[in-house]
Amino acid sequence: MILSRAFYSGSAVDVAPRLIGCRLVRVLAGKRLAGIITETEAYQGEEDQACHARVGRTARTEPMYEEPGHAYVYFTYGLHWLLNAVTDAPGNPAAVLIRAILPVEGAACMAELRPMMAYQPGWLNGPAKLTQAFKIDGSLNRTDLCSEDGGLFIEEGVSVPPEAILSGARVGISTVPEPWRDMPWRWQANDDFMRSVCASVSQNL
In this model, does residue 3 exceed pLDDT 90? Answer: yes
What DSSP designation does 190 have? -
Q: Which of 145, 128, 130 is nearest to 74 (CA)?
A: 128
Distances (CA, A) of 195 to 18, 38, 167: 19, 11, 19
pLDDT at 202: 56
Rg (CA), the chain: 16
Say how many domains are in the chain.
1
In this model, does residue 58 exceed pLDDT 90? Answer: yes
Cis peptide before 179 (omega within 30 of 0): yes
Reported pTM: 0.95
The single-letter code of the amino acid at 200 is S
- Compute the Cα dihedral for 169, 162, 37, 12 and give only its sign: negative
For the purposes of burial, counting CB atoms within 10 Å of the CB of 21, is it exposed (0-12), middle (13-18) or buried (19 or more)? buried
118-129: per-residue pLDDT in tens?
888 889 999 999
Which CATH number characterizes residue 21's domain?
3.10.300.10
Range of the domain at 78: 5-204
Q: Which of 35, 38, 24, 12 is nearest to 188 (CA)?
A: 38
Residue 198, H or E segment? helix 191-201
69-103: per-residue pLDDT in tens?
999 999 987 789 999 999 999 999 999 999 999 99
User: How many other CB atoms are there within 10 angstroms of residue 196's CB atom?
Assistant: 14
Q: Are 50 and 43 in contact (CB under 8 A)?
A: yes
Distances (CA, A) of 162 to 21, 22, 157, 166, 190: 11, 14, 15, 9, 10
Q: Are 121 and 140 in contact (CB under 8 A)?
A: no
pLDDT at 31: 95
pLDDT at 78: 75
153-179: per-residue pLDDT in tens?
999 999 999 999 999 999 999 999 999
Q: Which of 43, 46, 93 is nearest to 66 (CA)?
A: 93
Q: Are 21 and 37 in contact (CB under 8 A)?
A: yes
Q: C-alpha angle 134/55/150, rounded to 5°?
A: 25
